[in-house]
Chain A
Amino acid sequence: MLKRVHFEPSVLPYLLVAPQIIVTVLFFLWPASQALYQSLIVEDAFGLSSEFVWFQNFEELFKDPLYWGSFQRTFVFSFLVAFLSMSLALILAVMADRVIKGSGIYRTLLIWPYAVAPAAAGALWFFIFDPTVGFIPYALQFFGYEWNHKLNGNEAMALVIFTASWKQIAYNFLFFLAGLQSIPKSLIEAAAIDGAGPTRRFWTIVFPLLSPTTFFLLVINVVYAFFETFGIIDAVTGGGPANATNILVFKVYNDGFVGLDLGGSAAQSVILMAIVIALTVVQFRFVEKKVAY
């Protein structure tokens, strides 16, 4: 039995958790509740009058073909960003894992892009691909291809996918490398003695053993593509041309702060919130149960 003194009431524990509680309430719970509340009202553009309309904002949203278009676009964008950044990161990690000389430098350099701010990364790729001054459109011209993401929606989409993936590769690389290094070397040697060549070893031993890392990164990357690519979209395409890169998170900003439809924008962010919650639940449920070997 524990003695009663252990549970003597004291303010100290409350003081110790207070900073965390205050930050959570102030910056997470309060804004979230505001969004929930705002999603149920309609306000005029000047903020002079507002009316409580229950779920009318949501109803309008679900009737809006532009919203469904954005939804679809977001899924394509997220899937391609996650796939591209994870597969490239895995290839780089497998190669970095084999490097013996100068591996430290190699790894450090590969991690750098993660430190670049989204808007700065966006500006960088914007200039590289700029139809007027960028060198890649210039190079593509030699092959007879005319690149202009300011006019072509698919090219604009490809460009934001490249940019968003490029920024995320470093993060994925770090986790994949750590995952690869935690696989005991003797397993690979045992497979080599069993007669498996490098490719077969990778797909039958290494890749399955990396599955917890892969699944974790998949969720992280989808969340990233859904919510953290706003800066890139804003800097590179501004959602255009003709909504071609207008993904959900950008639409929230655009409708709310440019279009001044605060209620509709709040309704969209509530839906995004629900998606994050769902993804988080999936992650916790699966990472701990299904993907463990």
Chain B
Amino acid sequence: MASVTLDNLQKTYPNGFKAIHGVDVDIQDGEFLVLVGPSGCGKSTLLRMIAGLETVTEGDLQIGGKRVNDLEPSQRDIAMVFQNYALYPHMTVYNNMAYGLKIMGLSKSEIEERVKNAAGILELTEEQLSRKPRQLSGGQRQRVAMGRAIVRKPSVFLFDEPLSNLDAKLRVQMRIEIKRLQESLGITSVYVTHDQVEAMTLGHRLMVLNEGRVEQLGTPIELYEQPASLFVAGFIGSPAMNMLKVEVSDDGKSVHIAKGIDLALENGGLQSHAGQNAILGVRPEHLDLAPGMDGALPLTVTLVEHLGADTLIHGHFGDDQTDLTVRVSGIETVKAGDILPVSITKDHTHLFDPSTEKRIAL
């Protein structure tokens, strides 16, 4: 068990491409940190740097208070679960898990005890232990890959998109198992994913990466309620947050959305951006149908999606053509062409500066 500290960690490839632009984070002992971002954002590179599979060009990397920049992967006391599981195809499941332990020089009985123990935790049967990986299903291979990580009793678990090769149903199940496992073992974990649902459900804290830079670091709730930038706002939450180009009125007390449609701002408004453009972000679940309510905004419906539990209504405000999504729970009978009165829950609006793309604090 150990903390992991990244201090201004940077990675520049020999061809001059800068993959990581300086990342600082203190991962607490036992914490589950999720690195999340679109493909090519550098999240896997960062994980591989922690694992020792990529060199660190600048900055310090500490595991358990010890600088490990120049240590081999095997000396860092980590275990990694790969996206394609990376099970040794010519070895039985048992030997796959025992491989690292044999290299450690443990006794036969110790190895057997650890493997059996891990198999028990992961519900792998005795019979499955003697099989080859190719004779297992995707979910079972995933368990073996985790088993291989557990038996080593590492200080840090590293997960590189471990669930992306599984089907949707299995992914939900394994996600819960990983969370349960991490909580029961209490091992510091770093988990890479591009799936924001996985990120939100698994992580104690999330680090959103974009083009090798940290966009925001915080708990799932913080990221959801206070996204620091347009990127985070658009990335976290499904369906994605609605973004409207608006003009702040000259007195800063309201924003102009479309012809004849204005929204009053809370807390005395936005003096700093008076008369300027801004971007208004509202999540689909914070737009409500409000028949007969004063100040409701007229939404022209273009498309309706019925999900059963929810109804997604797509449309736009007046002459503003930005497509908006409204999420209403239950089944709502509306059709394209209808004009619905919609209200915005005030404390759930987000304003962003269009030039810096950063959040404007109200």
Contacts and interface: CB of A to CB of B under 8 A. Distances in A.
Is B one of A's binding partners?
yes
A200 interface: yes
A208 B95 CA distance: 14
A184 interface: yes
Interface in B84-137: 84, 86-90, 99-100, 103-104, 132
A194 B99 contact: yes
A211 B89 CA distance: 12
A196 to B, nearest CB: 6
B336 interface: no
Nearest to B48: A189
Given A200-B103, A293-B132, A192 B86 contact: no
A209 B90 contact: yes
Contacts of A184: 84, 86
Query: Of residues A189, A195, A208, which shows the largest number of chain B Cβ atoms within 10 Å of its Cβ?
Result: A195
B118 to A, nearest CB: 14
A103 to B, nearest CB: 15
Interface in A182-238: 184, 186-187, 189-196, 200, 204-205, 208-209, 211
Interface residue tally on B, bucketed by range? 20 to 34
B74 A192 contact: yes
Interface in B40-91: 51-53, 72-74, 78-80, 82-84, 86-90
Contact of B100 (A195, A205, A293): A195
A193 B74 contact: yes
A190 B74 contact: no
Contact of B89 (A189, A194, A204, A209): A209
B4 to A, nearest CB: 15
Given A192-B53, A195-B104, A293-B132, A187 B99 contact: no
A209 B82 CA distance: 19
A190 B104 contact: no
Contacts, number: 59
A194 B74 CA distance: 6
B88 A196 contact: no
A187 B145 CA distance: 12
Query: Of residues B52, B89, B132, which shows the largest number of chain A Cβ atoms within 10 Å of its Cβ?
Result: B89
Given A186-B82, A190-B82, A293-B132, A195 B103 contact: yes
Contact of B90 (A191, A195, A196, A208): A208
Contacts of B78: 193
Contact of A293 (B53, B74, B90, B104): B90
A187 B103 contact: no
Nearest to A192: B73
A205 B88 contact: yes
B73 A187 contact: no
A188 to B, nearest CB: 9
Given A293-B89, A293-B90, A194 B84 contact: no
Nearest to A211: B90
A82 to B, nearest CB: 23
A209 B52 CA distance: 24
Contacts of A194: 74, 99-100, 103, 148, 152
A205 B100 CA distance: 12
A8 B52 CA distance: 66
Contacts of A211: 90
A190 B86 contact: yes
A192 B72 contact: yes
A288 B99 CA distance: 27
Contact of B82 (A189, A200, A204, A208): A189
Contact of A193 (B51, B83, B89, B132): B51
Interface string B145-176: 00010001000000000000000000000000
Contacts of B100: 193-195
Contacts of A191: 88, 99
Nearest to A204: B99
A210 to B, nearest CB: 10
A101 B132 CA distance: 37
Nearest to A101: B14
A148 B192 CA distance: 66
Contacts of B79: 193
A182 B35 CA distance: 29
A187 B88 contact: yes
9 contacts: A189-B80, A190-B82, A191-B88, A193-B73, A195-B74, A195-B103, A200-B103, A205-B88, A209-B90
Interface of B: 51-53, 72-74, 78-80, 82-84, 86-90, 99-100, 103-104, 132, 148, 152
Closest 6 CB pairs of A and B: A194-B100, A195-B74, A293-B90, A186-B86, A190-B86, A195-B103
Interface of A: 184, 186-187, 189-196, 200, 204-205, 208-209, 211, 293
Given A190-B80, A190-B87, A193-B51, 12 more contacts: A184-B86, A186-B83, A186-B84, A187-B86, A187-B89, A192-B53, A193-B79, A193-B100, A194-B148, A195-B100, A204-B99, A208-B90
